Structure 1
Amino acid sequence: MPDDLPVTRSLVIPAAELSERFSRSSGPGGQGVNTTDSRVELSFDVLGSPSLPDPVRARLRQRLAGRLVDGVLTVAASEHRTQLANRRAARERLAALLREATGPPPRPRRPTRPTRGSQRRRLEGKRQRGVVKRGRQGRYDE
């Protein structure tokens, strides 16, 4: 499956820049779980990639800062029983992660005020809760 990884229409990661590692999956699976290396770790060197334009690389560095280890982004897949299925899942996961991180930033939230009705309902709920709690203490004065 040494195919290029399409992220967006304009961004495609060459297969030569992806590296895969295989290991044994954990969890149930009977006898086969101890013998097959079906877990896949797919790595992509974000900071060292020649196929990424500089603005995209800067955006990825900023948005994926918590996931990068020495500039390398790694995703793992072990939910399927076969190595091939896990390879596909890891590639899809990596593409989705890169697609989300390279997209435009979300619009800033426009501050709003609670409506008068929602404020009234909130305060009424707090009053009711106080009545319930006072009832537990044996006091019945309202």
Structure 2
Amino acid sequence: MNLPKTSSTFFDYMGFRSTIADKFELTLPLQTHLLQDDGTIHPGVFSTMLDISMGATISIETSSFATTINLNLSFFDLLPKDIYQAETKILKHEGKYVTAEGTIFTEDGVLIAKGIGTFKATPNKQK
């Protein structure tokens, strides 16, 4: 199976770290360039983290390339914490459309953000 590319200049700049064992895991250590002027984390950081986590999970579990169609997100705590971790599960897979749910927690279990996304799954073409 071809695994999704999980590293890019943007991915690296943001400071994301990923592992693929039994499932895709995405973490983000706090970095000062992610802070807004008021000292909070910009919600776009968590939007990106959820989008990457859900898309990669779908790609791995369906052997497809996942393209984001829609994201609905809620943010609960934007105060800086040391490390964030994203968890994702697929809620529904019907044809080429997949709906996933993602959550972001701190190391001590504080819920930071939650999202539901719909993705188009395009099968990977093996060469």
> What TM-score, normalized to structure 2?
0.26
Give the structure with higher Rg (CA): 1
**Which is bigger in relative contact order (C-alpha 8 A, separation at least 6)?**
2
More helix by share: 1
The answer to which structure has the higher strand fraction is 2
